[in-house]
Structure 1
Amino acid sequence: MNLPPLPEPLPHPVIDSHCHLDSAFEVSGLDPAEAIEQAAQVGVTRIVQIGCDLAGARFAVEAAERWDSVIAGVAIHPNDAARMRPDELPLALAEIEQMARRPRVRAIGETGLDHYRTRDEAGHQTQRDAFAWHIALAQATGKTLVIHDRDAHADVLDVLDAEGVPERVVMHCFSGDADFARACLDRGAWLSYAGPITFKPNEQLRAALRITPLDRILTETDAPYLTPVPYRGRANASYLIPHTARFMAEVLDRDLVEVCGALEQNAYAAFGGPWG
C-alpha cells in the first residue's frame, strides 16, 4: 500500500464532502474502517460516501448505516447511464429510488453530464434524461443533488434550469472558471473544491474560489482520485483533506480556523444538517 503519510492535523474539524471508500480500497487496499479512523486523526471527522452505480450505491448505504460519521449519496453516474442497455437503466434507477428514501441517504448523486468520456450524441441524450430523472428524485425526496460536470458546463445549467433547481445543490469537484462559478452560485449551489485546485496550471479554479462566498465553499477528496499536491499521482484518501484545506485558506488569504469552520458548517447546510 503506497499511500502518502498523514499530514499535520487541522485546527478545526472539516468534512470530506465527496469520497469513494469502496474504490479507495480497490485502488490502494485502504480498508474503509481504517480510512475513516485515519481521517478522524487529522480532523476530517465526517465523510459523504458517494455511490456511482448499483454496487457503489449499495455500499454507500451500508457504510452510512454502519458508521455514524458517514452519510450516503446514491445515483447512476452519467457515464454508467450512457453505457447501460436500454432495458438495464430503468431497473437500476428503480433501485436507486428505493435506496434514496433511506434515512442515512442524504444525497442524490453523483449525477450530471460528462462530455469527456461520453462523446456520442446518443450517449449525451441518455445522460440528459438520467440527469433529469435524478433531479426529479432530489426534488421529490428533499435530498441534496450532487452534480458531476465534466466538459459540460452550459448543458448542465440548461438541464437544471429546464427541470427546476432543487433546494440544495452541490457542484462536485468544481471545474469551471469564475464566470461559471457565478452562474452556479446564482442558482444557489455550493461549490466543492478538490485536489485539482492545488495543481499549478489551474489558476481558473483559484479565481473561482476567490469569488465564491465563504458560506458556499466545500472541500472533498473524490478519493481515491484527484490527490492534492504534494502527492499528486498517488492514491487519495480522506485524511489528505488538510492539504487542500490549507491551500484554500492561503488562496483566500483567510485564517485556517475560520476556513475550516466554514467548511464544516457548509457541509452540514449542504447535506441537510449535522450527522454522527
Structure 2
Amino acid sequence: MKVRMILNFGLPALESERPAEPRVVVSSRLFRMGEVAEREGLWTRWGWALVTAVVVHAGVVAAGMAMPASAPEFPPAAEEPELVLLAFAPPPPAPSSGAARSVPVERAARPSRPRVARPVMETSIQPQPKPEVVEPPVDETPPVANDAPSTPEAVADAPADSSPVPSVAGGVVGGAVGGTQGGIVGATGTLGDAVGLGQVLRPPSVLKQPRPDYPRRAKSEGVQGLVLVRIIVGVDGEVEAEHTRVLRSIPALDAAAIEAVNRWRFTPAIGRQGKPVRVILELPIQFTLK
C-alpha cells in the first residue's frame, strides 16, 4: 500500500504577505491520508460507471417490456394426403322387351342424309301366334302353307301401315302392286324346336342391325315398299340363315332384305326353364326413297 505523506513546513513570511494561519492536523489521520485519497478516487472512478450501467440496463428492460410480444413462429405443418374413395357405378339394367322394341323404331324415324337414298327399316318384333309354331309335327308340310295364316296378322301389326294392301303398294313404277303373299323361301329347312315369342320368358333384343343396301335397279326405277321376313334366332343370338324366308315379297327388294337380316345379331331368348332357346321372329323391312 502506498502512503503519501504531506509535510507542511512553514515558509518565512514575506513582509508584504500576511502570515499564514496555523493548521491543525490530527495525528491519527496523518498516516492515513493516502488510504483515504485512494478510496475517494475508487468511488469517483467506479461510481459513475455503475450508475450508468444500471440506467442502461433499466432502459433496455423497460423497452423490452414496452414492445408487444410477438407470437412464436412454428414451421408449417406438412400437408396430410387426402384419401379419396372411388366407387364404380353399377351397370345399367338390361333393357326390357318394350325398350328393345322401341329402339329400332326411333332409328327408323331419323331423317336420312341429303342426296343419299337409304331404306328406312322398321324392326319391331311381331308376336308369333301360339298354335302355329308350337307343334313340331308340321315339319313334313310345305312351309308356305304353314305360314300363310300368320301373314295378314303380321302385316297388320307393322307400324308402317295399318292395312295390308297399302303397305306393299307402290312397289313398281306404274302403280302395280309390289308385294306377293307367300313370297320366296330363302333356304330349305325345318323349324325344329324353335318357339314363338309367346313361349319365352325374355325375348331377344337387337345388338347389331346392319342396314340393307338399296338395289341400284330398284332405286332407279323408283321401287319401294315393305318386305316381311321370317327368321330364327339361335341360342347363340345369330340368325340361322338356312331358315330365313320372305313372307311378303317385292321381287326387286327381297334379296337385299334377306342379305341384311342374316347379318343381324341378337341376345339369346330365354325360355321358361331359364335356358336359351331358338325363337321365331318376323321382321318388316321398309324400303323408302327419300
TM-score, normalised on structure 1? 0.21
The answer to which structure has the higher helix fraction is 1
Higher relative contact order (CA 8 A, sep 6+): 1
Tell which structure's C-alpha radius of gyration is larger: 2
TM-score, normalised on structure 2? 0.21
